[in-house]
Amino acid sequence: MVFFQSGGYIRNASPYVNGTQLISASNNNIIFVNFNYRVGMFGFLASKEVKEDGHLNAGLMDQRFLLNWIQKHIEEFGGDPEHVILHGESAGAGSVALQLVAYGGKDEGLFAGAIAESTFMPGIPNPDDLQYQFDRVVNATDCADADDTLKCLRGIKSTDLQAHNAKAPFDGRTYRSYFYWAPTTDGDMFPDLPSKLYEKGEFVKVPLLSGSCTNEGSNYAVNAGTSAQFIRYMQNEYPYLTTEDTETILDLYPQEPKIVKHDTWFPSASRAYGEATFICPTNNILNAFAEHADPKTLWSYRYNVAIEEFTNDGYGVPHVSNAPAVFGPDMTAAKAGPSYRTYNAPMVPIVQNYWISFVRSFDPNTHRDEDAPRWENWGDDQRRLVFELNNNTMESVDKGQRERCEAWLDMSGSTKH
C-alpha cells in the first residue's frame, strides 16, 4: 500500500499518518509505504517559462518517481511489485485519480489497484491560465528585471522563496482561495482535463475503492448570509464560472434549513462546494469505471459516522473524518480521533478489515470483519456502502445528487475538472 499524503497540494501531511496499526491489524500481511512530494509553489508553479525549461506538475512527477522506485526495490522489503495499491486521502486521493489518467491512461505497470478517499479535485487549468501565478512570484522577488526570470528564481534560496509560497486570490478575484496551488492540464501528463479523460475511458483499469464523507464541504464553506455571498464564494474557488453557471448553481442549491451555529446560506454553500470538489468528482470517476472498466471490481462508500463535536458545531460528517477508522484513533492528526477510542471504537475493525481485504485481494469482502455486511459493487444503480455506527447498509445515490453531479460534469469546462 503506497499512501499519498493529503494537504490540498499546498502543505505536507505525510508525517501525520502512521500505518503501524493498519499493518498490525493485517497480521503483517501488508507493507505500508509513506512519502511526501513537492507541494505549493515548489510542486505546482506553472507558466510558459516552466513549460519551456522545466517540469510542470513536479509534485505529481515526484509521485511517479516513487512508484518507479518501488517497482525496482520493494522486493528487498518483502513486497510484490505486481501488487502495488495506491491509497490516498483528499489531495492524496486526487493524486491517485490523476495518476490513473496520467499520459492519457498509459499503463506502465506501476500499480494494480487504487483506494481514493474524499477525492479532492480543484480546478486544473492549463499553464497559460496560470501564468499570473508565476508573474506574481517573479514580481515579488528581485527577478522582475532579469533576462531569464526562471533562472533567476532558481538562484534564490528556498527559504526566501517560501515567503511567497502562500495563498492568494485567483486571477480576477479579490478573496484568497483555500487552495491556490494545484496541478495543471499540461498537454503531456494530462492531454485533456481529467474529467474528459475519464469520460473517454483513457485511464488505467484497475480495481478501485472510492468514496466520500456525507458533508465534505462543511469545513471549507463560507458562512454565507445571502445567496450573493454564496455565489461569490464559489467564484472565488472556481474563477472561470460563467453567469450561466452561477444561475445553474443557484437552481441546484437553493436555500436549505438553517444549521446550528451557522448563517442561512451556509448549508447550500457547504453542499455545493462539497459536491463540486469532492463528492461529484468521485461519483463521476466511479461512473467512468463502471462504463469502461470491470464493474465487478468497483466499490464505493458514504461515510456517515457522527462525531459529537462536529455535529454539535453544525459540521455534520466532514471531510476525511473517516481517517481514524482507517488508520486507528492515534495514527493520524484528525480531530475525529478521540471518538474512535470511545463510542466510535466499533467502527475501527470494520473499516480496517475492508481496506486490508482490498489491499490483499483486490476485494473488500474477502477478509472483511465477521460483523460487516457484504459490500456490493457500484454498478449502473450507483450502489455504495453507508458507514454508520451499528448500521452499515447499502444505498443507491439519490436522484438529486445524481442530477447535481451530472450538472457539475457538464460545467467541467468552467470548473477545469
Cell of 340: 474512535
Residue 7 CB-half CA count within 13 A: 22
CA-CA distance, 236 to 231, in Å (whole number)? 9
Given the residues 6, 26, 47, 90, the one annotated as active site: 90
Polymer length in residues for the chain: 417
Q: Quote the cell numbers at residue 391.
A: 448500521
What nine digits make up the cell of 36?
A: 511526501
Strand, helix or coil for residue 194? helix
Planar angle of CA 349, 303, 96, nearest 5 degrees = 90
Number of helices (H) and strands (E) in the chain: give both, helices first: 18, 8
User: What's 275's DSSP letter?
Assistant: I
In angstroms, the CA 21 to CA 95 distance is 24
Alpha-carbon distance of 87 to 104, in angstroms, equals: 20
Hey, which residues does 209 pair with through a beta bridge? Answer: 115, 299
Strands 208-213 and 383-387, sheet pairing: unpaired
User: For residue 83, how many other CB atoms are within 10 A of its CB?
Assistant: 17
| Strand, coil or helix: 33 | strand
Give the three cell numbers for residue 113: 489497484
Query: Would you give the end-to-end CA distance of the chain in angstroms?
Result: 27
Distances (CA, A) of 90 to 67, 228, 229, 388, 407: 19, 28, 26, 21, 22
Q: What is the 3-state secondary structure (H, E, C) of 91-138?
A: HHHHHHHHHHHHHHHCCCCCCCEEEEECCCCCCCCCHHHHHHHHHHHH
The one-letter code for the residue type at 365 is N
Which residues, 6+ apart, have CB-to-CB distance to 375 below 8 Å? 299, 301, 354, 364, 365, 368, 385, 394
Cα distance between residue 207 and residue 61, in whole Å: 23
Instruction: Decide if 270 is catalytic.
Output: no
Active centre residues (catalytic): 90
